[in-house]
Amino acid sequence: MKMRKPNKEFYSKVVLKNAKFWNGNAFELRDEVCLIGAGNNEDSLEYDSNGALVMPALFALGIDFMEPLRDDVYTYVDGVEAMRRGGFYGGLYESAANPIDDADKLTAAINRRPVDEPGNPYGSSLAIRFLGAYSKGFGTDSLAEMMELAQTGVAGFGDGNAAIPHSRFLRLAMEYGKMTGKRFFFQPMDKTLRKSGCVHEGAYSDMLGMKGIPRIAETIAAYTVLETARFLQVPVHFKQVTCGETLDLVRDARKKGIDVTCDVGLYHLLFDDSCLETLDSAYHILPPIRSAVDRDALWQGIVDGTVNAISMNHAPVLRQDKVVNFEDSVPGALSLEVALPAIWNKLVAKVGEARAIELLSTGPARLANAVHGKNHGDDVVILAADKPHKVVESDFAGHVCNSPLLGKELPSSILATYINGVFTQL
């Protein structure tokens, strides 16, 4: 099996030859493109792109690097490496294991990021923004210090992908958070309807005897959030929407003047619940992969503009927690390293190149208030759109490789990335 050992070096300038460069409207073939990176060193590099696409670096929604509580699984260093390999200049960070519920925890999270410096290509000056928790420990007993967190610089307030709390606590949280002007990020899921379910409730769960999660577990929670948001006039975002009914609620809410945005997960666009036939726990993610009808509805939401961004939902899981019975496995999947080559061609075929870049880069960055600044203006990813690549374990950073794409052939290949002065050749 082919091993991939990325080569990472600092360069203040990279000259790309024979590149199809994104000019803001289309890809145009250029004999030479000069990119200026961060840093004061005078090293430069010439790289032959062989006609590959050179596009703006991406921004990831839904990243969790597990550190410090579960650094036996994954670390910031692993996550930064994954982002560089996948072509991401930034991301919106929220760790289910490490709730940021006061200013000290936010400062600690920021300080844990490794620092970029020559000789340390694992450092990070990436544009990572953080979601603060709206409750202590993602619980339903007491509110987090949201005013303090907002003043310290959180991008918004999240739920740690936990089930929606009871309605009174939800109101109290959003009422308090309204004073900050920040957006609330929810993964809509009703706790009692989900119960111990782990897959979509449908024909395949019935056939295999698995405990299912019905669509109404999402739609009822989404409706509750939207009604609360309408009542309080608070902006909200839905993470990893899985079914068309939820998108219908979003469309109707916007007509009523509610400020609501939403994203859909990478794997919810690539797969449907027929994947359960394999009993492969790599497909065990939450929220669950739903039916082909639901997948088509998500694609329609992308085409008609209802969906604001595509989420990575990057969740590392130890091998021993995955290589078990499906229902006993820990949910989660890696995505950063393989997302672009997995989705690009299909996305472009549906919505065109400009909208594809918006969904993967500018759209998610806008939701996190992290639009490309002067430090990331020349960050790019070089993609050979027609060069297939078979996903192997060494494609993934860290020592975990839990992805349903492992062993599958992707239609495209990332050749290299240039992010914050670090050129990573794959």
- What is the amino acid identity at position 341? P
Sign (positive/negative) of CA torsion 63, 268, 407, 387? Answer: negative
List strand residue ranges (DSSP E) for 275-318, in order: 309-311
* Residue that is written with structure tokens 């619980």 in the block: 139
* Residue that is written with structure tokens 């960055």 in the block: 365
- Average pLDDT rounded to a whole number, residues 32-42: 77
The predicted structure's pLDDT at residue 121: 47
* Residue that is written with structure tokens 């036939």 in the block: 277
Chain segment 112-159, per-residue pLDDT in tens: 876 655 445 445 678 999 999 999 999 999 999 999 999 999 999 999
> What rounded mean pLDDT belongs to the chain?
93
pLDDT above 70 (res 160): yes
Quick check: is 129 in a domain?
yes
Compute how many other C-beta atoms are within 10 angstroms of the C-beta atom of residue 206.
10
Quick check: is 1 in a domain?
no
* Residue that is written with structure tokens 């600092």 in the block: 10
Residue 24 falls in which region: left (phi positive, over 0), alpha (psi -120 to 50) or beta: left
Sign (positive/negative) of CA torsion 174, 175, 180, 181? Answer: positive
Quick check: is 173 in a domain?
yes
pLDDT above 60 (res 1): no
CB 178, CB 146: distance < 8 Å:
no
Q: What is the pTM of this model?
A: 0.94
Chain segment 311-324, per-residue pLDDT in tens: 999 999 999 999 99
Quick check: is 2 in a domain?
no
The predicted structure's pLDDT at residue 112: 81
**Cβ neighbourhood burial of 383 (10 Å; 0-12, 13-18, 19+):** buried
Quick check: is 161 in a domain?
yes
Chain segment 191-222, per-residue pLDDT in tens: 999 999 999 999 999 999 999 999 999 999 99
Whole-Å CA distances, 307 to 73, 94, 128, 163, 271? 31, 20, 22, 22, 18
The predicted structure's pLDDT at residue 41: 61
- CATH code, domain with 61: 3.20.20.140
- Average pLDDT rounded to a whole number, residues 365-384: 81
Can you state the angle between helices 167-177 and 216-232, rounded to 10 degrees? 40
Chain segment 285-339, per-residue pLDDT in tens: 999 999 999 999 999 999 999 999 999 999 999 999 999 999 999 999 999 999 9
The predicted structure's pLDDT at residue 40: 59
Quick check: is 163 in a domain?
yes
pLDDT band with cut points at 50, 70 and 90 for residue 111: confident
Quick check: is 138 in a domain?
yes
> Which residues, 6+ apart, have CB-to-CB distance to 218 below 8 Å?
188, 189, 190, 241, 242, 243, 245, 246, 287
Q: Which residue has the higher pLDDT, 188 or 110?
A: 188
Number of domains making up the chain: 1
pLDDT band with cut points at 50, 70 and 90 for residue 181: very high
Quick check: is 56 in a domain?
yes
List strand residue ranges (DSSP E) for 13-80, in order: 13-22, 27-36, 44-48, 53-56, 58-63
DSSP 78-94: HHHHHHHHHTEEEEEE-
Phi, psi of 21 (to 5 degrees): -95, 135
Q: Look up the domain containing 186 and give its range.
A: 7-425
